[in-house]
Amino acid sequence: MAQSNSEDRVSLAQLDEFCRQAFLATGADQATADAATRAMLHGTTLGVDSHGVRLLPHYLKSLEGGRLNRTPEPKKVGGFGAVEVLDADDAHGALGAYLGMDRAADLARQFGIGAVAIRNNSHFGPAGAYALEAARQGLIGIAFCNSDSFVRLHDGAMRFHGTNPIAVAVPVAGENPWLLDMATSAIPYNRVQLYRSLGRTLPGATASDTQGVDTTDAELADMLAPLGGEFGFKGAALAGVAEIFSAVLTGMKLSFDIAPMPGPDFSTPRGLGAFVMALNPDAFLDRARFDAGMRRYVMTLRESPARQDMQVMAPGDREWRVAEERRMIGVTLDPATRSEFRRIADKFGLEWPLT
């Protein structure tokens, strides 16, 4: 994913510093600034730009308006054994999710498995960031979240589910984790916004107009299609899995009851739920056997025959390649994001490296 003009690039370190300072300038506490920036930088670093730093203006607006608690006090409110319930106190979603996964990892080291239901959370960005946190600790991580309705059902003509992501990360000894991070919609909603900014045409069978009719015009897209195209019933059912774990099991709002992410109300907390889980391979088998199995799996996968001029990759391989490149040469931001960052810099008196 090559970047072209070096004068337009900004380093990941510069983005990290700018985002942290912007959060603090709104009055958010350090924990919020750290978690929110960390999640966004995960997205930007791995090339998931729809869930990267382009979300900063939205998050700042949510903090300033009162939708997000600038100084939350998350706490355990239920559970027993390997299960806990965390009330995030209307925190930025990344703070609740990271805290939840850290606790799930602690439980997994004790019980072999740890599951944390997160209440009163908010939009948490890239689900893979939290699953990956478990994998970096040698555990298998799983993360779910629902969101406000934007995805029609298969053959449906109304917004029903959110994009409802599912993420799984598995450690692979000696290399980057196996990483699945997928929306259960054909594409995420933020991808539509990104394509609008770039003036690009959407792929086919990914979005619909107000009547549920497919469109490739990002300006006309009113709802997303479920994953699967003609077999979209599979994507709709997977969205239901995320809905049950992140909303029903946490006692939080179902997608069609959640206030829209774009507003107009930015003063009322949205009451999102999330669910994270960590599994400790050591509880199931000898670690050496687990490591050998994962190495053989991904090695055989990558070396399997590919179609002409194509390459077989394991989940996460493309993202790790993008991350390596961006760590070396930086990132080119889309025009709308660059403009917003200049506005934020002027508003708060922050240093921004691009003109």
Positions of E strands within the chain = 9-10, 75-78, 83-87, 113-121, 140-145, 151-152, 159-161, 166-172, 175-182, 207-208, 223-224, 272-279, 331-332
Strands 75-78 and 207-208, bridge-based pairing: unpaired
- Over residues 220-263, the pLDDT tens digits come to 999 999 999 889 999 999 999 999 999 999 999 999 999 999 99
Predicted TM-score (pTM) of this structure:
0.93
Task: Identify the CATH class of 72-185+226-316.
Answer: alpha beta
Mean pLDDT by 10 residues, the chain (355 residues): 61 97 98 98 95 96 98 98 98 98 98 98 96 98 96 94 96 97 88 86 92 92 92 95 97 96 95 98 98 98 94 96 97 92 96 83
The whole-number pLDDT of residue 2 equals 41
Cα dihedral 298, 303, 304, 306 in deg (nearest 10): 120
Domain-wise residue ranges, the chain: 72-185+226-316
The whole-number pLDDT of residue 353 equals 84
The whole-number pLDDT of residue 355 equals 66
Distance CA 207, CA 239 (A): 16
Tell me, rounded to whole angstroms, the distance of Cα 65 from its chain centroid.
22
Distance CA 35, CA 31 (A): 6
